[in-house]
Amino acid sequence: MGIFHLEAAADHVEGLAHENDIVRAVLELIWNALDADSERVEVTFRRNDAGGIDGVTVKDNGHGMSPEAAQTAFRWIGGSWKRAARRSQEKNRPLHGKSGQGRLRAFALGTEIRWTSVAEDTAKNRVRTVIRASSASRNDFEITEPISSSDERGTQFEAAGKTGLDRLETEETRAKAVSVLAPYLISNPSIEVIYDGTALNPSENIERDTVYDLTWTYQGSNQSAKLRIIEWVQASIRTVHLCDADGVTVDELDSPPAADFRYSGYVLWDSMPEHQGEWILTKFEEEESLVGGLVKAADRKLLEHFEDSRSQRRRELVEEWKNDKTYPYIGEPGSEEEKVERATFDVVATSIRRHVPKTKKQQKLTLGLLKQSLQQRPDDVSALLDQFLGLPAEEREQLDRLLKRTSLSRVIQATTSVTNRLEFIRALELMVFDPETNKMVGERENLHKILENELWIFGEEYNLMVSERGLTHALDRHLQLLGGDRTDRTAVKRLDGTTGRLDLLLSAAATEHDRNRHLVVELKAPKIKATHKELSQVKSYAKAVAADPRFADTNTIWDFWLVTATVDDDVQQERTQRGRSRGIAFEPELTGAPHAKVRVWVKTWGELIQEATRRLSYFQESLQHDASLADAREYLTRIHGDVIPEGLLTNAPREYDEEDQRETA
């Protein structure tokens, strides 16, 4: 028959070929076969010696291309008979291709392409026609003279001469093909599509198939369509297709919602073929278009559907974990906070269900680690899951949004605070009781700076007022607390005429009826044993405050703490006097003019740690978190890395128990 020249510019033909989209090219060839009423379509790949794909064959048993149809098909773009037809020629199936461009996509699969088609001519005789083309001259198609044939009707397409086709054999591509063809294949169960030796059978992979009515308004007129959502048992894709009423894909949306599900959505609208390509404009339109309204209605229904699915799936999966005894919580929650914590754990755990191991032992470990991470370091959960589970980017983003939205954030923050405190107590034990470590810990350069950010260890009610400042500054802050100012500008001095420098001045206002309380903490490095010298220093501060009338206020109590690891016998006797609370070493009875009420206490680190541990014991039992030395070292690095002693974290200290604390006390 000769060479037929396609009436279009070469660059236009190249653009229509979409040569980078090899998956789309194979799908178009499958659709062409189905439009030709094929009952069986087989896609096979030719592989080179290295195992790479360098050729593609698509074979069908449809009605084929007659010589007349071939001449028309390869002479003009857009002249396809399908444009005017709604159904296939023989079996009245819904048609996919209507623009006549599908044959051009074949150039994406090879530099040399060929169709061999057996069909009936106008005289009803069966003839074979071959169409060849080369990417070197995309507009020229060679169509052979038809010859008589006794073969069954059908068309075989072959492409060769191109590399980089290996993506065609991936599971993602197979899933894509299933997604695109699913409604058609489900509606026509007799049709077989064999892809690289395996039948595409969407029915066997469906977890749930749901259809919803869609309604929206455009220019005052009510519109309607349907949305079909097929959720897959196993798949690696998430797609939303804009289809005609029969489910034949016209367009495909990008960025479908619900990244934690694998599904295919099909917007079924009879008028969709008339609006091909318009959906992309909905991103830029100022006024909502007809297609824009449809897309928004579909998005809303998809979000609603999958939110319901999450709730149902969450209940089922959690129940399954409980039955398998891999769920990290035991019994029923004992408080509202625990209920919220569990609810959020369930949300997060089920959102990453595909990455949770199937074996019970690994599953229990993974879920336990997730629980611990949520309780201790919620801000790091997404990064931790990404590190250990390798979450895809879209799932990581979904998880980030989930963690930010969850109502547990408030509870998690509180739980994190408690866990951090338990780990700091363990770190404090390490710094105070380890004989190697406590030699490294300095008073001002290490301990002081660390405790400025851990004031809760002295009591929940205190806030920092003055750090490493003199008694005069303490007076200023005291007067500010009372709402006044210092008119007498002379410095506050101790009885020997010197000014004192306080380590920490903490304040609590109105915590005991109408009283104000100040706590002055004099820190001693863990290696220091408190003697009469250290106690006298603290007493001198207390006496200076008691003697200065500017501190006089009947509603203020001044407590001075000497905090040290160990004390000698003299100091021990002074802090354990009969008639006084244990720890008070000095409490003068002042008469005459008004004086500030002062008390001097001697506290050991062991006592402070035990008191703090008692306050946290309930939470520790609830969290079941027993901080290890590794936790303690990690906490010091994370929170106080700039002030911890050099070499502290590189040592391997031994474990310490309560006996060590009692000895130092």
- What percent of the chain lies above the pLDDT cut of 70? 73
Structure confidence at residue 194 (pLDDT): 97
Pairing of strands 263-268, 463-470: unpaired
pLDDT of residue 635: 79
The pLDDT-based confidence of 409 (bands split at 50, 70, 90) is very low
Q: How far apart are CA 144 and CA 117, in angstroms?
A: 11
pLDDT in tens, 166-179: 999 998 899 999 99
Burial class of residue 48 (count of CB atoms within 10 Å of its CB; 0-12, 13-18, 19+): exposed
Q: Comparing 140 with 98, which gets the higher pLDDT? A: 140
The pLDDT-based confidence of 633 (bands split at 50, 70, 90) is: confident
Domain boundary among 356, 386, 407: 407
Query: What's the pLDDT band for 543 if we cut at 50, 70, 90?
Result: confident
Q: Are residues 402 and 424 in the same domain?
A: no
Mean pLDDT confidence for 31-47: 94
Whether 225 has a pLDDT exceeding 90, the answer reads yes
Residue 362 in any domain: the answer is: yes
pLDDT of 659 reads 47
Average pLDDT, rounded, for the chain: 79
194 part of a folded domain: no
- Nearest CA to 515 out of 453, 467, 559, 580 is that of 559
Residue 664's pLDDT is what?
44
Q: Are residues 522 and 401 in the same domain?
A: no
Is pLDDT larger for residue 345 or for residue 179? 179
Residue 342 lies in a domain: yes
Long-range contacts of the stretch 366-374 (C-beta < 8 A, 24+): 367/321, 367/326, 367/327, 367/328, 368/328, 370/328, 370/345, 371/328, 371/329, 371/345, 372/625, 374/341, 374/344, 374/345, 374/348, 374/408, 374/412
What value does the mean pLDDT take over residues 592-600? 75
Q: Are residues 33 and 138 in the same domain?
A: yes
Alpha helices for 409-557 (secondary structure H): 409-433, 449-452, 471-481, 532-547
**In this structure, are 487 and 381 located in the same domain?**
no
* pLDDT in the model for residue 11: 45
Residues 363, 275, single domain; the answer is no
Closest alpha carbon to 392 in 365, 358, 354: 354
Alpha-carbon distances of 647 from 124, 609, 629, 633, rounded to whole Å? 93, 24, 15, 11
Q: How confident is the model at residue 105 (pLDDT cuts 50, 70, 90)?
A: confident
pLDDT at residue 20 in the model: 74
pLDDT at 376: 65
**Domain edge (last residue) among 287, 310, 333:** 310
Give the pLDDT of residue 345: 82
What pLDDT score was predicted for residue 474?
Answer: 61
Residue scoring higher pLDDT (523 or 480)? 523
| Domain end residue (candidates: 250, 284, 310) | 310
Q: How far apart are CA 133 and CA 157, in angstroms?
A: 12
Q: Judge whether 73 lies within some domain.
A: yes
Residue 602's pLDDT is what? 93
Return the residue matching tokens 């290490």.
446
Most confidently modeled range among 310-319, 363-372, 623-632: 310-319
Give how far Cα 263 sits from Cα of 231, 258, 298, 395, 527, Å. Answer: 4, 9, 14, 14, 65
Structural domain includes residue 650: yes
Domain count for the chain: 4
DSSP code for 94: B
> What number of helices (H) and strands (E) belong to the chain?
17, 23
| Closest C-alpha to 595, from 542, 546, 541 | 546
What does the pLDDT average to over 592-614?
A: 83
Residue 238 covered by a domain: yes
Helices (H), 133-210: 171-187
Q: What is the mean pLDDT of residues 604-630?
A: 74
User: In this prediction, what percent of the chain has a pLDDT beyond 90?
Assistant: 31
pLDDT in tens, 254-295: 888 887 788 999 999 999 988 988 888 887 777 889 999 999
For the cut 50, the answer to whether the pLDDT of residue 64 exceeds it is yes
The answer to whether residues 481 and 596 belong to one domain is yes
Cβ atoms within 10 Å of 144's Cβ, excluding its own: 15
CA within 13 Å, CB half, 318: 19
CA distance 247 to 228: 9
Banded model confidence at residue 508, pLDDT cuts 50, 70, 90? low
390-404 confidence digits (pLDDT tens): 555 665 666 666 565
Which pLDDT score, from 0 to 100, does residue 239 have?
Answer: 93
> CA-to-CA distance for 569 and 172, rounded, in angstroms?
77
Domain that includes residue 302, residue range: 205-310
Residue 188 lies in a domain: no
- Rounded average pLDDT over 215-242: 92
Residues 362 and 509 grouped into a single domain: no
Contact in structure between 475 and 550 (CB atoms under 8 Å): yes
How much is the pLDDT for 661? 47
Structure token pair of residue 642 = 């700039």
Kindly tell me if the per-residue pLDDT of 205 is higher than 50: yes
> Nearest Cα to 183, choosing from 97, 264, 296?
264
Residue 480 pLDDT: 58
Instruction: Give mean pLDDT, residues 475-497.
Output: 57
Identify the pLDDT of residue 410: 44
Q: Which residue has the higher pLDDT, 595 or 113?
A: 113
Phi and psi at residue 74, to the nearest 5°: -105, 15
The alpha-helical segments, DSSP class H, found in 274-289 are none
Confidence band, pLDDT 50/70/90 cuts, at residue 364: confident
Taking Cα atoms as reference points, which of 571, 585, 559 lies closest to residue 530? 571
Q: Same domain for 428 and 574?
A: yes
Task: Give yes or no for a contact between 241 and 267, defined as CB atoms under 8 angstroms apart.
Answer: yes
pLDDT value at residue 407: 41
Q: Are both 134 and 221 inside the same structural domain?
A: no
Asked if pLDDT for residue 481 goes beyond 80, the answer is: no
Task: Specify if 359 maps to a domain.
Answer: yes
Residues 275 and 343 in one domain: no
Helical segments of 458-604, H only: 471-481, 532-547, 569-574
**Which pair of tokens denotes residue 371?**
């629980």
Are residues 335 and 365 both part of a single domain? yes
297 and 358 part of one domain: no
Cα angle vertex 364, ends 363, 370, to 5°? 90
Per-residue pLDDT at 156 exceeds 60: yes
Q: Rounded distance, CA 475 to CA 518, Å? A: 11
Give the pLDDT confidence score for residue 138 in this predicted structure.
Answer: 74
Q: What is the torsion angle, in degrees rounded to the nearest 10, for the CA atoms of residue 282, residue 283, residue 286 and residue 287?
A: 20
Distance of alpha carbon 299 from alpha carbon 136, whole angstroms: 44
